[in-house]
A and B are shown apart, each in its own frame.
Chain A
Amino acid sequence: MSGLLCASFNFIDKTNTIAPAFGFRPMGIGNETDESYLRYASLPREIVCTENLTPWKKLLPCDSKAGLATLLAGGKLFNSMYYSLGLHFRPVPMRPDDAGWSWQLTQTLTVVFDGFVRSKLTGTNGWTLSSLFGRPLDGPCPIASRSRLYVDITDIEQAPGFSLNPAGTTVTEASGMDRKYSYVLYNLLQPSTFAQVKRLNPSVNWDADWDMQSQRPWLHVERFLTGVGLHHGGISSLLHNRHPNRSLTVHHQDTLPWFLRVYSHTLTVTTAGKANPPSYVGYRPARDRERPHQLELLLTLPPATITRVDIQFERALLTWTEYPPDANHGVHICAAVVTAVLPDSDPCTGLCSENSPVSFYRPLVRDTGHLSRLYTQTLLVSLPTPDFSMPYNVVCLTCTVVAIGFGSFHNILTRSFRTRDPAQASGIVRHLANLIRRWRGVPLL
């Protein structure tokens, strides 16, 4: 996998892998997967780039030669604000009533484009597919059984001057809490899509002075480091529950490297200044150079509040070979994973029903909401560093001090006191003086 995707998975070893107790559940058929084999690992230092995109695209049936994947050109994709690639494997039944099963590979790509800069450059609000991806769609992938393009117009439907060309099929879905979602569907496999235009290039426009007010998500997490200096420090997570009247139960999972000596007794969870003890705390301490710290919390976030999770740590000094080449950059701490079942009125979860466009990778949970997994920021922790240019000097100086001790004690313990006439010169000087005296003919010492 590492070589296939240029993803440095070979750096995953026992020092950054944990076995989570909650939070990750198999999403395929049958729960015969042994939970003791569940592992979670993260490489916070790696960055996703074209080296990962190219092999990812090659896994697609049509590569990037036909269908939706033709839009995925590196130049435009990496000019975005946020970018994420995913590969999901799960076992699924071959046919609905069949006992047999096969593996399903789901590849996801998430890109967030910068609408602000585009609107500043062009002077209008709006976008076209070719302005985002650099080219329009020519046609579907011939071996695809489903090839669809959805444009979410829920928030901009009512904007003054709104227009969408070419027209597609409008799909409206209602969810709980009186929230309606509207999508425009372009089915690439239908011949009518390419009947009017040779190349599909949806363009959306609305008036320049209308400000799009999207609803903010109910759950938002921020994580940051506290403290000053290279000895103590703390990690704080701020979990915002923006729902006006519904409390959320979240699972917060943290993996901290072994060289941050975490003190579990300093864990505090407060909401609006008052203590909010978690309903479950699962903590597995680290072993030096063997496994990381694993902290899992089950928290209840009251409505419209900010909950703060704090924990303190001390930094350890490593041997000089254990530091990365840019030791003064710092080490990266993995993102914490916050899992929650969000109410279906959350604007980011999308629709409820099984047939909705986004349901196949956001499974329904107990008909009440969607499972949502948030990853916080990674953190950069500076570690105290020794002087890397000094191994010989340190060995010499320390051994000198030890030798001073050894020499002094050796002298005092192995020798004994003797008296000496101070007028008498010491051995070799006396011998030389006697030689000179003999030559001069005067009495010897």
Chain B
Amino acid sequence: MGLLSDPQSRERVLLFLIRHNSKLCILCYALGLVWFLLLPLPPLSAPTYISENALLPGLVKREFVGGPQALSLSREFAANKALVGGLPVEWLNKTMTSLGLEVHTQTFAVDLPFPDEINERYHVRGTNVQGVVRARRAASTEALVLHVPFLPEANDQAMGLALSLAAHFRKQVYWAKDLIVLVTEHDLLGIQAWLGAYHGINLTSLGVRSSELGGYCGALQAAITLQLSSDVATSIDLQLHGPNGLLPNLDLPNLVHHLCLHAKVLCTVQELLPPQEDNAWWQSMHIMLLQALGQASTKPASEHGLFLRHRVEALGLKAINSHRQEKASLEKLGRLLEGVFRSLNNLLERFHQSFFFYLLPSLQSYVSIGNYAPCAAAILVVLFLCAVELWAKLNPEKERRTREAAASNPASIPWLSVIGSIVIAHGLGIALYLGPLVAHQRAANYFDLPEDEAVSLTALGIGVSSLSLPHRGSTPQGWIWLKLFALLELGMLLLALDLLNFPLAFMLAIPTVPAAVVSQPSHKTASIALLLVASPAVISLMGLAMKTELNPHGPTSGQLGGFIGLFLRWLQCLSQSILEHQSLGTNLYPLFTLGLFPCWLQLWHVALWKE
């Protein structure tokens, strides 16, 4: 408390902060960036290990021999799928019953706010089928889920393997938890409908109408989503992140990785090979950046992500068949999954030992929150330093103030222009959030556009028009109050986001913090340039460009290259993010419109402040 109560040392610290303000800001910002770049290297990244002792991976004898059965079931499924032209519910029902499972179906219906051009759906109707292997003599208090999403053109072998595994599991006596084999239609919407009906709660703003679910199995402990579209696989790719940057407990990917090593199956993450010795830093950075971009997009990597919102640890396993020599057959993959489920069966408590917040430079190493938090803190400190300088400018200490300045009422706030600017900025943010949904019908009819394009163009229109509002201040120093408010608001937003979705917060902080600190009426050109780079639209465009560049598959065929292609894809992403916010509850669009855009607009007013 000495620092806070002793006026002399306080004065000295304050003077030091003010005199060296820009140097300290640059130093902290550089420190944050450099720290982030050093994250893939030890000692900031540590080797992975399994924290939950109860898992005991790989200690049981795997007995699954259903490879041929899996293959034949997948052929039958493909044939019935072609016959029915969709999910063959009766065939699944009959097959699961003949394998000894308890079968329940659920029909659901969702109406999207506007047509989804990418997945080609508008009014969605579907059926989910669940087959339950009841544990013997247990009271159905806990359950594990093996989830196979139904895809019209793929995922047949996953279905066959899941059914064959279920048949094998049905005969065993060692299950302590029930096992649910879940087949859902319409990818994320189907699993959302099932989870909503199972937990009796709707986490989105869309009304989902579903039939009564049967076959409750108690609390879900863990879930695995399987994607397998070939008879053999060369590697298993782990898909981690869920909506809004949620991650499963680190024990679960570690478990699957450990079992893959045991079974000599290649295990990858972000569909990239593990980093080699010669190029370790860049390859680790590549993997970490892809994970960061995936979390920052707030879209789940696969259907497993929606389980994470209900506190069920889940992982997506995608089997990839590339040109490598060593192939794993269906039987080998089945044994791998059997090992995973045997380990999950051993769990006494929910996953709670290992980390929930981490970055993975590779599957062999991880960066925990304690190691990556300093780079976020360093960048936030920049905002705090700038705010301290502004506060000192507004409230000079009495020892430094002259009599004349003291005679006038110190630093009266130009209420009208500051509050006006704040209200307008937030009002426009709300308009940007609600506008596209409310007005897209009218825009589509008036301009004769497809509805999702109308949505993106409405959003773009509102955003651009808000830049041109007049901003006339009443006092020369009034902009300081507005900038202080905007800095504090941006700081609080980034602080909140750092805890919820660190990669998104960091990627937003990198362009916006320099723009926020530099923006002043006296440095008009530099402020406007930096602010334009830091605008929500340009940030999302750059994020999309980075993702396209870093994508291990490269651009998909049929995609336009160059800037035009990027822009068109960006427009599509805009309408997709609005749709996902409504149907899945992801928070990217509200964050940008209700959080980032008002801060940015206030800083824009500061930069263009006229007396």
Direct contact between A and B in the complex (CB less than 8 angstroms)? Answer: yes
Contact between chains at B214 and A228 (CB < 8 Å)? no
Contact between chains at A83 and B137 (CB < 8 Å)? yes
Which B residue sits closest to A235, measured CB to CB? B200
Contact between chains at B141 and A380 (CB < 8 Å)? yes
Which A residue sits closest to B141, measured CB to CB? A380
Contact between chains at B136 and A114 (CB < 8 Å)? yes
* Chain B residues within an 8 Å CB radius of A48: 137
Contact of A380 with B142 at beta-carbon distance under 8 Å, contacts A222-B214, A326-B348 already known: yes
For window 377-396 of chain A, which residues contact chain B by CB distance below 8 Å?
377-380, 382
Contact between chains at A222 and B199 (CB < 8 Å)? no
* Chain A residues within an 8 Å CB radius of B199: 225-228
Contact between chains at B171 and A82 (CB < 8 Å)? no
Contact between chains at A81 and B1 (CB < 8 Å)? no
Contact between chains at A380 and B136 (CB < 8 Å)? no
Q: Answer yes or no: B173 CB below 8 A from chain A CBs.
A: yes
Least distance between B390 CB and chain A CB atoms (Å) = 27
Contact between chains at A226 and B200 (CB < 8 Å)? yes
Contact between chains at B219 and A330 (CB < 8 Å)? yes
* Chain A residues within an 8 Å CB radius of B350: 328-330, 382
Which of A78, A224, A330 has most B Cβ within 10 Å?
A: A224
Q: Answer yes or no: A170 CB below 8 A from chain B CBs.
A: no
Contact between chains at B1 and A377 (CB < 8 Å)? no
Q: Answer yes or no: A145 CB below 8 A from chain B CBs.
A: no
Contact between chains at A80 and B139 (CB < 8 Å)? no
User: How many chain B residues touch the partner (CB < 8 A)?
Assistant: 29
Contact of A227 with B200 at beta-carbon distance under 8 Å, contacts A114-B136, A117-B171, A222-B216 already known: yes
Q: Answer yes or no: A407 CB below 8 A from chain B CBs.
A: yes
CA of A377 to CA of B216, assembled, Å: 10
Least distance between A220 CB and chain B CB atoms (Å) = 10
Contact between chains at B137 and A78 (CB < 8 Å)? yes
Contact of A379 with B170 at beta-carbon distance under 8 Å, contacts A81-B134, A81-B136, A83-B137 already known: no
Contact between chains at B139 and A404 (CB < 8 Å)? no
Contact of A378 with B201 at beta-carbon distance under 8 Å, contacts A326-B348, A328-B352 already known: no
User: How many chain A residues touch the partner (CB < 8 A)?
Assistant: 42
CA of A377 to CA of B212, assembled, Å: 18
Q: Answer yes or no: B33 CB below 8 A from chain A CBs.
A: no
Least distance between A438 CB and chain B CB atoms (Å) = 27
Using an 8 Å CB-CB cutoff, how does the interface string of B1-23 with A read, 1 for contact, 0 for none? Answer: 10001000000000000000000
Which B residue sits closest to A114, measured CB to CB? B136
Least distance between A408 CB and chain B CB atoms (Å) = 7
Using an 8 Å CB-CB cutoff, how does the interface string of A211-243 with B read, 1 for contact, 0 for none? Answer: 000000000001111111100001010100000
Q: Answer yes or no: B471 CB below 8 A from chain A CBs.
A: no
Contact between chains at A120 and B200 (CB < 8 Å)? no
Least distance between A325 CB and chain B CB atoms (Å) = 10
* Among candidates A80, A236, A377, residue contacting B141 with C-beta atoms closer than 8 Å: A377
* Chain A residues within an 8 Å CB radius of B134: 81
Q: Answer yes or no: A299 CB below 8 A from chain B CBs.
A: no
* Chain B residues within an 8 Å CB radius of A222: 214, 216
For window 134-152 of chain B, which residues contact chain A by CB distance below 8 Å?
134, 136-137, 139-142
Contact of A407 with B1 at beta-carbon distance under 8 Å, contacts A224-B216, A226-B200, A329-B348 already known: yes
Q: Answer yes or no: A417 CB below 8 A from chain B CBs.
A: no
Contact between chains at A117 and B212 (CB < 8 Å)? no
CA of A365 to CA of B216, assembled, Å: 32
Least distance between B607 CB and chain A CB atoms (Å) = 41
Which B residue sits closest to A77, measured CB to CB? B137
Contact of A228 with B309 at beta-carbon distance under 8 Å, contacts A328-B352, A330-B219 already known: yes
Q: Answer yes or no: A306 CB below 8 A from chain B CBs.
A: yes
Q: Answer yes or no: A284 CB below 8 A from chain B CBs.
A: no
Contact of A228 with B137 at beta-carbon distance under 8 Å, contacts A117-B171, A222-B214 already known: no
Q: Answer yes or no: A332 CB below 8 A from chain B CBs.
A: yes
Residue numbers of B with Cβ under 8 A of A are 1, 5, 100, 134, 136-137, 139-142, 170-171, 173, 199-201, 203, 212, 214, 216, 218-219, 309-311, 348-350, 352
Q: Report 30 cross-chain contacts, Cβ distance below 8 Å, ordered by A residue.
A: A44-B139, A47-B137, A79-B173, A80-B137, A81-B134, A81-B136, A82-B136, A117-B170, A117-B171, A120-B171, A224-B200, A224-B218, A225-B199, A225-B218, A226-B199, A226-B200, A228-B203, A228-B311, A229-B311, A234-B200, A326-B348, A327-B349, A328-B349, A328-B350, A330-B219, A332-B141, A377-B216, A377-B218, A382-B219, A411-B5
- Apart from A223-B216, A225-B219, A329-B350, what 20 extra A-B contacts exist at CB < 8 Å? A80-B136, A81-B137, A82-B137, A117-B171, A225-B199, A227-B200, A227-B201, A228-B309, A228-B310, A234-B200, A306-B212, A329-B349, A330-B219, A332-B141, A335-B139, A378-B141, A382-B311, A404-B1, A408-B1, A411-B5
